Structure 1
Amino acid sequence: MKEKILHILKNSSEEFVSGESISKELGVTRAAIWKYIKQIREEGYEIESVSRKGYRIVNSPDRLTAEEVGEGLKTKYMGRNIMYFETIDSTNIKAKKLAAEGVLEGTVVIAEEQTEGKGRLGRSWISPKNKGIWMSLILRPDINPMKVSMITEVAAAAAVKAIEDMGVKAYIKWPNDIVVENKKLCGILTEMTGEVDKVNYVILGMGINANLDLEDFQSELRDEATSIKIETGKNIVRKELVAKLLNYFENFYESFVIKGDIEKSLEICREKSILLGKEIQVIGRNEVKKARALDIDNEGRLVVRFDDEKEEAIFSGEVSIRGMYGYVE
């Protein structure tokens, strides 16, 4: 009921809506309307109430609910079903459960806080409340399972475009990190459930350090991680960034999955790459090898040349990539 009242107020074009009209439309008492209005205010909405006129929203909080994110969406299905949580263990864990139950493609699980956020290779991900974007998309691409890893690059292209729309110059550290000033701003985690020749579903997890302060990071991470707020000195409106990200992602994802064309995404990944042309470390299970990053090929693999002049195209799941002396450099 609270969501229905909020929807009515949001669609009133800043005009007052009388308690009586809301009462009639929803079939509840005006006393009940007042109770829900109070709850909505407690969530951070500034609502003006005037006798004989009714209610109107004066200001909305930066919450990542369907109502708030939806205002900026231009998608057909990405983000049109948002499962919102104040606190959750992990959006990826919840998304897997929902995907197994058959929820629609494009469903987004998003939370203000994660208590067990995780990144690639089982690493933990710091996810403080109301400061970042912690979300997972449920995808059901009709593609060869061998091509699923390329969705990471589709997501990276969408993320870097959305972040730059917020006024921050960003780069991609192949295959799944967005970097600002040589520090990690965003991580992408792609997990698939399927069979040899069929994808059942893909969970695309994304964590973006939007409004974190320096003290939100553990001391050992402060040289490698950053946030949009740290880099710009001001908070961004997170719901705007989420909407931009989903808009870009649906566009690039449909090109790849429906048309079989990933060139648009790969072009962005090459153009915004922070690794190409640099000396890097290719870290495998049992060895670390020096190489130069040459290109990203049409399969989304990183093409490198080792010290022995041998060239190789590397799949993202095979190795970790670092700069010669640190995270990027």
Structure 2
Amino acid sequence: MDTDLSVSELPRLHWRVLKTLADGKQHSGQSIADSLGVSRAAIWKSLKLLERGGIEVEHARGIGYQLIDGSVELLDAAVIRPPGLPYPMELEVFSELASTNQFLLDCVLGRPQMPFLCLAEYQSQGRGRRGRNWHAPFATNLNYSLAWPFEQTTFLSGLSLAIGVIVAESLAAVGVSGVMLKWPNDLIVNEKKLAGILIELRGEVGGTVWAVIGVGINVNMSRDELSAIDQPWVSCRQVVGTKLSRNLLARELTQRLFGGLVCFQEQGFSAFIHRWQSLDWLRDKPVTIDRDDGKIAAIARGVTEQGLLTVETSAGPVNLSSGEVSVRVAD
């Protein structure tokens, strides 16, 4: 079979090529093409894009292709699943999804009340807060979503802030220091975005409310990999000076999310507020608040126990909900 693939099909081919090379042995371009049922040209194109994405491939003329030791790590459900979780958990790892959050939103209703963790090597339609796109190269960052069942009476205000604390502490546990929290859902290092959180809800009348907790972390992305991001960003790799294990980070995050979400169910955001305040990146900074009715200049003054941002304006203090506004540090 001699088939060339379009650019939109390449992420799926990346996964298959990486799986072939993951044994660390040398494979000729022709043998890879034959085993995957595509052309040599498609394999060459995939390998070039993988290299551009930071995955190092060694090519010995007349012998074949081989991954350089430690250059890539594919997500592994067996490594990601922490031992001794207090509840059973369903876990799926995909080579590609449109969106890990959307996958869970589409399937949680009517399911048993069991947490469901979904990860993908690549998202074609990843998204962040207020409909913004979330860009991530193939097999490089962490595209992570956890569906968690809450009783309908649970007060979920401040949940995204509590998740921010848990993500920051998970990163610190694997050696990524200096992480700060930008209200309501960004993680910042050295004035640049490292990670983002998106929480979306699904519920049944009189039944369970599912919180789909999406976490996107720039793990091993390098500076020349992606020009599509329109804001200053940084990766864990740049912070610590070496590549980080995405599997170990995902396991640490999952372990801490289970404990943190049980705590949130019992105590709400009040159990996290002091830790959040110690990581508050906006505290006492001049900010610009974008609202539907215009922009407002203010000074950020921390958060309330309901997760609202308190700002000091010319008219006095105001508490803001994340659904109403966008906040940025003033120029």
- Note whether the superposition's TM-score is higher than 0.5: yes
**Which of 259, 275, 279 is the aligned partner of 2:286?**
279
- Unmatched tracts of structure 2, length 5 or more: 1-16, 26-69
Alignment correspondent of 2:56: none
Superposed, 1:95-244 pairs within 5 Å as 95-144=104-153, 147-168=155-176, 169-194=178-203, 200-218=209-227, 221=230, 224-244=232-252
Give the Cα separation in 2 of the matches to 1:90 and 1:313.
Answer: 32
What percentage of aligned pairs have identical amino acids?
Answer: 23
Q: Deviations over 1:232-283 (max 9, x none)?
A: 22110111111111111111211111x2243332222111010111111111
Alignment correspondent of 1:44: 22
SS in 2 for 1:153: helix
Q: Which amino acid aligns with 1:312?
A: V
- Unmatched tracts of structure 1, length 5 or more: 1-38, 48-58
CA RMSD of aligned residues (A): 2.6
Q: Which amino acid aligns with 1:253?
A: L
Distance 1:143 1:174, change over 3 A: farther
- Shift, 1:143, TM fit: 4.7
- Using the TM superposition, name which of 206-215 and 96-105 deviates more: 96-105
Is contact 1:295-1:304 (8 Å) kept?
A: yes
Alignment correspondent of 1:253: 261
Give the Cα separation in 1 of the matches to 2:84 and 2:326.
Answer: 35
**Which of 266, 269, 274 is the aligned partner of 2:273?**
266
Q: Which amino acid aligns with 2:75?
A: L
Q: Which amino acid aligns with 2:310?
A: V
Q: Which amino acid aligns with 2:267?
A: G
Q: Deviations over 1:101-140 (max 9, x none)?
A: 4154321111011011001111111021110110111111
Q: Normalised by the size of structure 2, how large is the TM-score?
A: 0.75
Is contact 2:291-2:324 (8 Å) kept?
A: yes
- Shift, 1:228, TM fit: 0.8
Is contact 1:149-1:190 (8 Å) kept?
A: no
Q: Normalised by the size of structure 1, how large is the TM-score?
A: 0.75
Alignment correspondent of 1:316: 322
Runs of 4+ with >4 A deviation = 195-199
- Shift, 1:141, TM fit: 1.0
